């Protein structure tokens, strides 16, 4: 009887240990899959940004303008090792589509085919860029089209799918422990398969899998992953065997000492306590890991704002992903000397450890240049030489400013960042800036904008998560921000930040939000 009871307990304990390890493995797989999805989202920006920029450049040139600006711009993104294999510029003239310029190799989807013009016409009805899989013989690729109905221009580009179907993003550390398959669209079919690091014949992936859909133009990329090996601690993998071996040993000991029931019962209790301690130890180790992650996340955000004469300062940070407090948005304000102060609000694309690393570099680099006495435009110009989206995997937007707390005079420069808002008792107006390229696109120069704060005026800087929503253009979000701030009336700077974030932030918002408000109370 004692042996039977011990065998049952051993089996149950072993099964419980297996289930705990499986559940832990699945949770870890889900976390790593979300990190890999964040890498995919950043890679999508590398595709989307050139298309939108090319449209903007050609829109400035006008319907009769020279296409050389388009050709020069897209040449930097077309070729071996670059985002696209080919790119072309088209113009809608009535019911006709006319090709104006092209760069790179001959496309898979030939320009003279009716399917090509039909696809490009559909781009004018889409709110974002459109995407589709292409196939011609042994060549496979992905086509992208983005149109501007106002200027009647449409940009079409193609990206080849490697013959080995390996995605360039799988060199990122987020994929190092995963086998993956990426499908264009929500269906996991052979026809929708884009890239994978396993033999296509072994698809679909089975067993412990995780699935995430990443928005991709007018479609989605469906990422399906399985672990390449055990993801958790070695103890979690070995614990079922430890429990099994210990249980069998206990059974053997109990069967041999059946005549000494009291002694056997005592041994069983001691062994049960040992097993319980092992479980408690495992729980403690997982708890320590969670606590360390949370402390790391909080340490990366400013703990408090400095005290600067004639200024009232308030700030806020809201994480976009549920259960994750770490991202690439940040803010900072510092006193520089007896009369000036500097500040920055920035946004690194994507999420996860890699985005935070780029954020930390940008934050301390900008802070160093400001302390060295450089103005806002020079600070951004020097930073533009130190970041590269092709190697970092991320790009950074930022608005940097230097102000005089005696006079209320402020000078700012923008690296592709939304313009700050100046809020007074009876108005809320955006500062007119000349945004330059985001950090990471390449070395460039920036233009400064200088303006005067009146006593009691508040300069509100923010990241795009406060105003952007997927279903509308950014101008609508900017108008909503200005209206919300203006309607608040006289209020403290802390209440202004709380009320603006509370009124514009939605529960299901996917992006992070960082807000910095600086109120000038008047010179001495």
Task: Give the model's pLDDT for residue 293.
Answer: 37
Residue 20, φ and ψ in degrees, nearest 5: -60, -45
Report d(CA 383, CA 362) in Å as an integer: 8
In this prediction, residue 138 has a pLDDT band, given cuts at 50, 70 and 90, of: confident
Q: How remote is the C-alpha of 48 from its chain's centroid?
A: 14
In order of 8, 80, 83, 253, 471, the CA distances from 266 in angstroms are 18, 72, 69, 12, 67
Residues 120/97, Cβ–Cβ less than 8 Å: yes
What is the CA 108 to chain-centroid distance, rounded?
Answer: 31
Strands across the sheet containing 210-216: 193-196, 178-184, 219-227, 210-216
Residue 308 has pLDDT above 90, yes or no: yes
For the chain, state the CA radius of gyration. 29
Confidence grade of residue 287 (pLDDT, cut at 50, 70, 90) = very low
Digit-coded pLDDT (tens) for 235-249: 666 777 777 787 778
Using DSSP's 3-state secondary structure scheme, residue 41 falls into: helix
Q: Identify the residue whose tokens are 């408690």.
A: 280
Q: Do 191 and 140 contact (CB within 8 A), yes or no?
A: no
Length of the chain: 524
Q: Identify the pLDDT of residue 226.
A: 94
Residue spans of beta strands (DSSP E) within 416-471? 421-423, 428-430, 449-452, 458-462
Query: In the chain, how long is the greatest CA-to-CA distance?
Result: 102
Give yes or no for residue 119 having a pLDDT over 50.
yes
What is the 3-state composition of the chain as percent helix, strand, coil, each rounded to the nearest 5? 40, 25, 30
Q: DSSP letters of 225-252?
A: EEESS--S-HHHHHHHHHHHHHHHHHHH
Distance separating alpha carbons of residues 30 and 159, to the nearest angstrom: 29
Report the percentage of the chain scoring pLDDT > 90: 48
Question: What local confidence, expressed as pLDDT, does residue 444 receive?
Answer: 94
* pLDDT interval class at 264 (50, 70, 90): low
**Average pLDDT, stretch 112-134?**
91
Q: Check whether 301 has a pLDDT greater than 70.
A: no
Mean pLDDT, the chain, as a whole number?
Answer: 86
Residues 401, 343 contacting (CB under 8 angstroms): yes
Q: Which pLDDT does position 443 carry in this prediction? A: 92
Q: What is the separation of C-alpha 81 from the centre of its chain, rounded to a whole number of angstroms? A: 23
Cα–Cα distance measured from residue 268 to residue 274, given in angstroms and rounded to the nearest whole number: 10
* Residue 96, Ramachandran bin (φ over 0: left; ψ between -120 and 50: alpha; else beta): beta
pTM of the model: 0.46
Residue 517: pLDDT over 60: yes
234-256 and 2-61 are packed helices; what angle lies between their axes, rounded to 10 degrees? 170
pLDDT reported for residue 40? 87
Q: What is the DSSP string of 469-496?
A: -TTS-HHHHHHHHHHHHHHT-S--HHHH
Range in 115-124, 348-357, 479-488, 489-498 with the lowest mean pLDDT: 348-357
Residues linked to residue 139 through DSSP beta bridges, in sequence order: 136
Q: Is the pLDDT of residue 479 over 90?
A: yes
Place of tokens 């469906």: 222
Provide the pLDDT for residue 297: 43
Directed axis angle between helix 68-75 and helix 2-61, to 10°? 150
Q: What are the chain's domains?
A: 2-20+231-297 (no CATH), 304-520 (3.60.40.10)
| pLDDT at site 211 | 94
Segment 367-417, tens digit of pLDDT: 999 999 999 999 999 999 999 998 888 999 999 999 999 999 999 999 999
pLDDT value at residue 298: 52
Q: Assess contact for 505 and 511: CB atoms under 8 A.
A: no
Q: Which helix (H) or strand (E) holds 373?
A: none
Q: 363: which 2 tokens?
A: 């934050």
Q: What is residue 379's predicted lDDT score, i.e. its pLDDT? A: 96
Q: What is the pLDDT of residue 320?
A: 73
Q: Is 442 left (phi over 0), alpha (psi -120 to 50) or beta?
A: left
Beta-sheet strand order (sheet of 458-462)? 311-318, 513-520, 458-462, 421-423, 428-430
Residue 60 C-beta-side C-alpha neighbours within 13 Å: 8
430-441 pLDDT tens trace: 999 999 999 999
CA distance 187 to 426: 53
223: three-class secondary structure by DSSP: strand
| CA-to-CA dists, residue 103 to 67, 81, 88, 130, 209, angstroms | 11, 15, 6, 19, 40
CA angle 46, 51, 57 (to 5 degrees): 125
Residue 66: what are its φ and ψ, rounded to 5°? -75, 140
């Amino acid at each position: 009887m004692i042996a039977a009871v011990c065998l049952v307990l051993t089996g149950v304990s072993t099964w419980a240990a297996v289930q705990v390890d499986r559940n832990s493995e699945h949770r870890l797989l889900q976390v790593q899959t979300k990190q890999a999805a964040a890498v995919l989202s950043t890679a999508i920006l590398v595709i989307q940004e050139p298309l939108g920029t090319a449209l903007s450049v050609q829109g400035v040139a006008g319907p009769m303008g020279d296409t050389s600006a388009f050709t020069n711009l897209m040449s930097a993104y077309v070729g071996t090792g670059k985002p696209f294999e080919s790119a072309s510029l088209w113009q809608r003239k009535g019911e006709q589509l006319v090709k104006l310029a092209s760069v790179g190799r001959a496309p898979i989807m030939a320009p003279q085919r009716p399917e090509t013009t039909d696809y490009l016409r559909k781009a004018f009805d889409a709110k974002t860029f459109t995407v589709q899989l292409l196939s011609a013989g042994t060549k496979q690729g992905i086509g992208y089209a983005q149109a501007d109905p106002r200027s009647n221009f449409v940009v079409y580009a193609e990206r080849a799918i490697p013959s080995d179907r390996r995605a360039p993003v799988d060199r990122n550390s987020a994929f190092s422990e995963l086998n993956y398959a990426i499908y264009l669209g929500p269906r996991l079919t052979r026809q929708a398969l884009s890239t994978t690091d396993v033999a296509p014949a072994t698809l679909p992936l089975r067993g412990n899998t995780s699935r995430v859909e990443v928005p991709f133009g007018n479609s989605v990329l469906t990422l399906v992953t399985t672990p390449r090996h055990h993801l958790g601690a070695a103890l979690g993998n070995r614990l079922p065997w430890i429990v099994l071996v210990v249980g069998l040993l206990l059974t053997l000991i109990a069967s041999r000492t059946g005549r000494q029931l009291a002694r056997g019962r005592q041994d069983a209790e001691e062994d049960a306590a040992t097993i319980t301690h092992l479980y408690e130890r495992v729980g403690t180790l997982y708890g320590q890991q969670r606590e360390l992650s949370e402390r790391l996340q909080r340490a990366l955000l400013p703990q408090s704002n400095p005290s600067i004469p004639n200024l009232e300062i308030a700030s806020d940070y809201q994480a976009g992903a549920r259960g994750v407090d770490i991202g690439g948005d940040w803010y900072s304000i510092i006193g520089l000397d007896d009369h000036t102060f500097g500040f920055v609000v920035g946004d690194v694309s994507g999420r996860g450890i890699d985005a935070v690393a780029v954020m930390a570099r940008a934050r301390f680099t900008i802070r160093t240049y400001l302390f060295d006495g450089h103005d806002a435009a020079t600070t951004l110009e020097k930073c533009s030489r130190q970041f590269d989206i092709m190697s970092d995997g991320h790009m950074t937007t930022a608005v940097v400013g230097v102000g005089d707390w005696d006079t209320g005079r402020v000078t700012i420069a923008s690296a592709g960042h939304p313009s700050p808002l100046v809020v007074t008792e009876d108005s809320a107006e955006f500062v007119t800036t000349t945004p330059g390229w985001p950090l990471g696109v390449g070395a460039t120069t920036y233009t400064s904008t200088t303006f005067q704060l009146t006593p009691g005026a508040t300069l509100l800087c923010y990241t795009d998560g406060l105003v952007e929503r997927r279903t509308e253009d950014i101008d609508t979000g900017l108008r909503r921000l200005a209206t919300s701030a203006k309607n608040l009336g006289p209020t403290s700077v802390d209440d202004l930040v709380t009320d603006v974030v509370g009124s514009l932030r939605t529960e299901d918002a996917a992006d992070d939000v960082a807000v910095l408000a600086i109120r000038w109370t008047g010179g001495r």
